[in-house]
Amino acid sequence: MTKKTPLLTTPENLLVNLTLHNVSASLLSEFAEKIVRPYYNNNLNAAIQDLINKTLSEQEFIHSHITYTRNQDKQ
């Protein structure tokens, strides 16, 4: 039997460079103007990290809700 290795086995403090492709300049400008400048003191890096973390938290919440609902329907 083949062992499955975890997708990421690296420490949390490992930093990677991120490149965005095909994102419109107007979308980035609006994000910077409405989110980054007032809430993150022009720190785009912190804003994107927070956006990713909040998205993952929301996804986990939705997944747990779906799982709970499916389990309730089986009862």
Mean pLDDT by 10 residues, the chain (75 residues): 59 81 95 97 95 93 87 81
Domain-located, residue 75: yes
In this prediction, residue 9 carries a pLDDT of 59
- For residue 9, give both structure tokens: 């086995």
Instruction: Identify whether the C-beta of residue 40 lies closer than 8 Å to the C-beta of residue 47.
Output: yes
In this prediction, residue 14 carries a pLDDT of 80
- For residue 70, give both structure tokens: 């499916």
In this prediction, residue 25 carries a pLDDT of 94
Matching residue, tokens 């779906």: 66
* pTM reported for the whole predicted model: 0.65
The total number of structural domains in the chain stands at 1
Domain-located, residue 13: no
Residue type, 11: P
Domain-located, residue 35: no
Domain-located, residue 68: yes
Domain-located, residue 23: no
